[in-house]
Amino acid sequence: MRPDSRDVLVTGGAGFIGSHVVDRLLAGGHRPRIFDQRPSPWHASADVDERIGDLGDVTRLRSAMAGCDVVVHLAAAADVDLVRADPLDAERRNARGTLNVLEAARQTGVGRVIYASTIWVYSDTPADCHEEDCALCAPGHLYTATKLAGELYCRSYLELYGLEYTVLRFGIPYGPRARPAGVVAQFVGRALAGEPLVVAGDGRQSRRFVYVEDLADGVVRALTPAAANRTYNLVGSEDTSIADIAESVRDLVGGVEIERVPARVGDFNGAPVSGARAARELGWEAQTPFVTGLARYVDWRRAEAASAALAPRTRVRGALGSLLRRTALALLAAATIAVMLIGIASLVPIDRDMDVYDTLTATLVMLLPLMLAAGFAWPAEARRGVRTVCWTIAAGDLVLVHHHPVFAISAAAIAVSAGLVVRERPALAVRVATGDG
């Protein structure tokens, strides 16, 4: 264990940015713990401790933070259009959610909260170049207001309770695992589908994009003690307009048109944002040029699409392989029992009218219900029918008990047992059989 390694809770660690932060923490020798509403699709539970919960549940937050040195708070309602559509939920998750994280951190003795804010806080502030100490104007967009509220809560918890914080104002993130709602993800998705790229307004709105793996590196660098109670812009080194994005995507994917629509209300105006403080104090600068990162993302989307296309066949092969393995095991068990019974019958005659070969045949027949029940996984709606078949065989064996009592009673017992162990097929196999998913 490295002497500077930390136990770090990552809220939203199953998401786009959070999953990359978890990767970077692992690579840096830290011990990340995920707090999210869903299990991470990017990490095995054996590699990363996961806690499922909601930001509104302070009790679960406290439990998840127990023993942690730092909390990286990334969980939020980040889609500005969804924020506009449901402002109450956005306030609950962004503003009150951050307050809950800070309170849980205070109660559990966490040393510092690293808060993910956004360069959208500059959207209503006129400046030639935005630096961290510039005076901010009242925001026009609710998303910006909720993120600024989180920044103010961080400062208040330092003043009132001595809880350290670091505010990171993210540039516009893009890259593998991105949410479908992001502008780069939308453009790439539409281009790969052969649909036109829609540009709001004149397309000259510029952004400081930042490749997600670079961004994750900046978050981890903010663990340094020197970053306590400081604010940093984590942005790319180049301003990229929306029109530039559309043209770059068109050039990479090919064969798509660009359409213009009216500008969005409350859109980020895109004044330049300085990353000089992060370079000076954290030693962090974005390393990935936008076009390079975009090409990597396009390649990732294509690989994901190819993987999704192969998934049904892979699931079918997996289901067939599992079926064959179960059947082979059932046959092996039946053959083993048959050989044992043949041995017993050879040593101790059970019925003088039956020779060894009759014993083998009768044994295999009476083991059929067991193979039927345990050798196959049945959908829930078929289990009752299979049980009925097994118990019918058991009843038929008991009717014939006067012919060969030992075998008839044994066969009936095996059939009843088989009916009790009929297994339900896993949900994945059901989807393969029905064509869902």
Note if 143 is an active site residue. Answer: yes
Q: What is the 3-state secondary structure (H, E, C) of the chain?
A: CCCCCCEEEEECCCCHHHHHHHHHHHHCCCEEEEEECCCCCCCCCCCCEEEECCCCCHHHHHHHHCCCCEEEECCCCCCHHHHHHCHHHHHHHHHHHHHHHHHHHHHHCCCEEEEEEEHHHHCCCCCCCECCCCCCCCCCCHHHHHHHHHHHHHHHHHHHHCCEEEEEEECEEECCCCCCCCHHHHHHHHHHCCCCEEEECCCCCEECEEEHHHHHHHHHHCCCHHHCCEEEEECCCCCEEHHHHHHHHHHHHCCCCEEEECCCCCCCCCCCECCHHHHHHHCCCCCCCHHHHHHHHHHHHHHHHHHHHHHHHHHHHHHHHHHHHHHHHHHHHHHHHHHHHHHHHHHCCCCCCCCHHHHHHHHHHHHHHHHHHHCCEECHHHHHHHHHHHHHHHHHHHHCCCCCHHHHHHHHHHHHHHHHCCEECCHHHHHHHHCCC
Catalytic residue among 143, 153, 165, 211: 143
**What are the catalytic residues?**
143
